[in-house]
Amino acid sequence: MADNIVTSAKSSTPSPNPIRIICHVCQKQFSQYTCPRCNSRYCSLQCYKSHSLRCTESFMKENVVQELQQMQPDEQTKTKMLDILKRFHSEEEMDEDSFADSTLSEETMEKLLSGQEISFDDLSLEEKKQFHRAIAYGELSKMIKPWDPWWSKPSARKIRLSSEGTQLVQLLPEKELPDDIGAEEFSEVPTGPETPLPPLSSLSSREPSPLLTVHLVDILYSYCFTLRLYNGDWRSDALGSVTVVLSLSSVLGQGAQPETVLEALSHFLEQVCCPAYRHVGGLQFGLSVIDDVISLLSLGTSALVCALCDMHRLIQEGEKEARSERPRKSRRDGIRRAIKLAERKIYFIMCWVHEQPEEAWSSLAAIVRAEKASAMEFQSSNKSEKLNNKAEAKGKRLIEEI
């Protein structure tokens, strides 16, 4: 007997058949989940993000506060934050006009400068409000030194791996390094695999898909975006970094099979413009990440293997954190299976990249560069079409009212 299909959670007449409710957002799929705040039924993460800005923003705010309360920072993190707060306070003192609106009270600053630990609960009500306001408007991010990607440094062009894919060059003492490369810069480049990469034929009996080049672009974009988002320090929140990767990458997070580079790039530009990531920088930031992908491809096989190896470590660390999560945080348990699958995909494509000729990457970089322009045109035409539709709809409503 067929199931009853309804578009509302409430039914006027009881029915012996199971009731399947249509998603309140897209009106296309059956709903599988219920928003805990407004009880709206939805079918997917995408529909949840778009169903109510108030629900998603309050959910993210609660997550931030919860993480801050549970965070146990190490000495290095404390030192970094203390430096940021000192610099912020000193800049406020230099600006006489901002003295009256100082974010932190003198009492709080004295505790910080004396080395005492300050938790979120120690702040006054006004300081808590200003702290949330500073996060919302990105004021704290201005105090953080922008991260220079490792792939933009001269040392990235000097990466060499063995024929088996393992690290060939070890870090030299600082006095033996060339004048144009410091030890700190060299150490920022992620190391390659510690064990030899197996032949691709030993991982799969089938011929590699010709779409792997597109999948590589998808994976590299999610890697570059995540590192940019975390200012190069994905280890500060490995599980959060993995969550970003899985939410952005259609290949790793959704098991999709994009067939063209344009399709992959268009997907990313739509993602970075959605409410979840719009605060990062929107379309302009999304386009700049494409340039990061082009830079990585231009460096060749060794750099690509190191990038994928770094991403593989990111996924593994995220999996460890997900495994050690306490039961009351079990809402993230659902991504563990996706993390394991993503780990296998990254390792497979890393082995595939290792076997490709060097000239393949310059050609792929040229394709990405060309498709970036196409993606920009596509996004621009989409925006114009939406504005036209909005104007037409507004015009229709005006005529009806008259």
In a domain, 79, yes or no: no
Residue by residue, pLDDT tens for the chain (402 residues) are: 455 555 555 444 554 555 678 888 888 888 888 887 788 888 888 787 777 766 766 666 666 666 666 666 666 666 666 666 666 666 555 544 443 445 566 777 777 667 677 777 777 787 777 777 766 665 666 666 778 899 999 988 888 888 888 877 554 444 444 444 444 444 678 989 989 999 988 988 888 888 999 999 999 999 999 999 888 889 888 888 998 999 899 899 888 888 999 889 988 888 888 887 777 778 888 889 999 999 999 999 999 999 999 999 999 998 888 877 664 454 555 677 888 899 999 999 999 999 999 999 999 999 999 988 877 776 666 655 554 554 455 444 434 433
Other residues' Cβ atoms within 10 Å of the Cβ of residue 384: 10
Same domain for 257 and 377: yes
Same domain for 267 and 239: yes
Same domain for 124 and 252: no
Same domain for 60 and 193: no
Strand, helix or coil for residue 20: strand
pLDDT of 391 reads: 46
- Cα separation, 310 vs 234, in Å, equals 10
Same domain for 209 and 305: yes
pLDDT of 107 reads: 73
Category of 34 on φ-ψ map: left (φ > 0), alpha (ψ -120 to 50) or beta: beta
In a domain, 374, yes or no: yes
Contact indicator for 30, 12 with CB cutoff of 8 Å: no
What's the DSSP call for residue 121? G
- Cα separation, 238 vs 322, in Å, equals 9
3-state DSSP helix/strand/coil % of the chain, to nearest 5: 65, 5, 30
Contact indicator for 254, 95 with CB cutoff of 8 Å: no
pLDDT of 237 reads: 87
Same domain for 122 and 61: no
Residue ranges of E strands in 9-121: 19-21, 33-34, 41-42
Structure tokens at 369: 């560069």
In a domain, 352, yes or no: yes
Contacts for 52 with CB less than 8 Å, ≥ 6 apart? 35, 37, 38, 40
Of 15, 50, 69, the residue at which a domain comes to its end is: 69
Same domain for 119 and 65: no
In a domain, 181, yes or no: no
In a domain, 107, yes or no: no
Contact indicator for 264, 374 with CB cutoff of 8 Å: no
- Cα separation, 86 vs 152, in Å, equals 30
Contact indicator for 156, 124 with CB cutoff of 8 Å: no
Other residues' Cβ atoms within 10 Å of the Cβ of residue 253: 22
Same domain for 58 and 124: no
Torsion over CA: 391, 373, 293, 163 (sign):
positive
- Cα separation, 345 vs 94, in Å, equals 52
- Cα separation, 106 vs 30, in Å, equals 55
β partners of residue 347: none
Contacts for 50 with CB less than 8 Å, ≥ 6 apart? 25, 274, 275
What's the DSSP call for residue 30? B
Residue-number span of the structural domain to which 131 is assigned: 115-144
Q: Are strands 33-34 and 41-42 parallel, antiparallel or unpaired?
A: antiparallel
In a domain, 174, yes or no: no
Nearest Cα neighbor of 213 from 375, 361, 354, 371 is: 361
Domains held by the chain: number: 3
Same domain for 306 and 337: yes
Same domain for 51 and 128: no
Contact indicator for 290, 221 with CB cutoff of 8 Å: yes
In a domain, 273, yes or no: yes
Q: Which helix (H) or strand (E) holds 6?
A: strand 4-6
pLDDT of 103 reads: 56
Same domain for 223 and 120: no
Same domain for 121 and 255: no
In our burial notation (b when 16+ CB lie closer than 10 A, e otherwise), range 265-275 reads bbbbbbbbbee
In a domain, 61, yes or no: yes
